[in-house]
Amino acid sequence: MGESGFVHTFLPGRVVFGAGTLDQVAGEVELLGVRRVLLVATRSARDAADVVEVELGDRFAGRIDGVAQHVPTEVAEAARDKAREIGADGIVAIGGGSAIGLAKAVALTTGPASDPTGRAVGGLTSGAAGGASGGVVIVAVPTTYAGSEMTPVWGETAGGSKTTGTDLRVLPRVVVYDPVLSQHLPKKVTAASVANAIAHCVEAVWTPRADPITETTAVEGLRALTVGLKQILADPTDLDARSNLLYGACLGGSALATAGTGLHHKLCHLLGGTYNLPHAETHAAVLPQVAHFNAPAVPRAKARLEEALQTDELAGGLFDLFAAAGVPTSLRELGLSREQAEEAARAFQPTANPIPVTEELVEEILTRAWAGTRPGSPEPGSREV
């Protein structure tokens, strides 16, 4: 562990995990003391939402089917109006980061403001009703591996620009992980979503707020995600694989929630926000390149992550895993032009990082990410696309 001390804040929340746990959602809502539930579900989770609606009985108050990526303000406003109209004191969100993001957008505007640093834990004792604290509480039922359900981070997009922040009001009180719900998530969507979860695990070891607890959480998350992704490539409906992936996503989200984000996420955020690149896939193209430069500066964590990834070189191992899973490993495959990559490098604002973030470093990372160059290869563009 090393000799230096550290401070770690555990965020409050309850996790219910296992095949068939969808049937426990209504019971968890009851335990929280929530009386009027707004059900928010991604279209692909409509059947699961039908089950929960019936099981909620009198507590069911209204429903939103269908969500949009990156929480557009108009969609968030409509959801807030609906929540007010039906007097919701709780939301059950079933789906990926987009459904959970919409629930967060509603919760953010209810109840007393919380510590914007996300480090305070007062007032969030498990079991307290939403009504008691004045805010709408969230029960999240994730069906992808984005990990948003474990974080107090919210985001909303207006006029093409995404604003994000941290507030404990948006942290789900209960997360129900039922691997059956993601059993038919298409292989391509699965692989990209796993890349997103892996990025949470890898970046969590080098952010300024990383500590030995976030590192251990992240390493175990990467181990489970690696095993799960390899199982999925052999059989996408393997329930054990789906469990491994959800468990890894939970750990990745949890590590991210405490360690925060760094160079990698800030680059992805810039690319996604400015050029509308798909969230999960952008991670796969950028992460191996950032890992190539950052990982040598955190040698203990690098060695632990390499063991978890079953590789002897982290950056190259990440690249190979994503390529084997069929996730695009270049930004040009995602539609970014070379000029846009250069423009992004110039626009990037330096951030705290284990090695200094110079314009040259960002340019090299983005040039390699644009071309899809395997880390360790000398010339950008060496991998044909």
- Per CB under 6 A, residues contacting ligand NAD are 42-44, 69-70, 95-99, 101, 143-144, 146-148, 151, 153, 155, 181-182, 184-185, 189, 193, 196, 279-280
Taking CB positions, which residue lies at the least distance from ligand NAD? Answer: 97
- The least CB distance from residue 80 to ligand NAD, in Å, is 17
Q: Which two tokens stand for residue 262?
A: 């760094």
Q: Which is nearer to ligand NAD, 210 or 371 (CB)?
A: 210
Q: Which is nearer to ligand NAD, 321 or 361 (CB)?
A: 321
Alpha-carbon Rg for the chain in angstroms:
20
Query: At its nearest, how many Å lie between ligand NAD and the CB of residue 168?
Result: 13
How many C-beta neighbours within 10 Å does residue 237 have? 10
Closer residue to ligand NAD, CB minimum distance, 170 or 205: 170
Q: How far is the CB of 299 from ligand NAD (least distance, A)?
A: 28
Cβ-based neighbours of 4, under 8 Å, separated by 6 or more:
none
Q: How far is the CB of 296 from ligand NAD (least distance, A)?
A: 27
Instruction: CB nearer to ligand NAD: give 31 or 233.
Output: 233
Per-residue tokens: 362: 């960002």
Buried b (16+ CB within 10 A) or exposed e, 354-373: beebeeebbbbbbbbbbbbb
Is the CB of 276 or the CB of 311 nearer to ligand NAD? 276
Residue 45 beta carbon to ligand NAD: minimum distance, rounded to whole angstroms: 6
Q: Closest approach of Cβ 211 to ligand NAD, in Å?
A: 19
Cβ neighbours for 231, distance < 8 A, ≥ 6 positions apart: 238, 240, 241, 244
Closest to 168 measured CA to CA, from 124, 204, 214, 230: 124
Question: Encoding tokens for residue 312?
Answer: 């002897």
Structure tokens at 348: 């990037």
**Residue whose CB is less far from ligand NAD, 194 or 219:** 194
DSSP state of 257: H
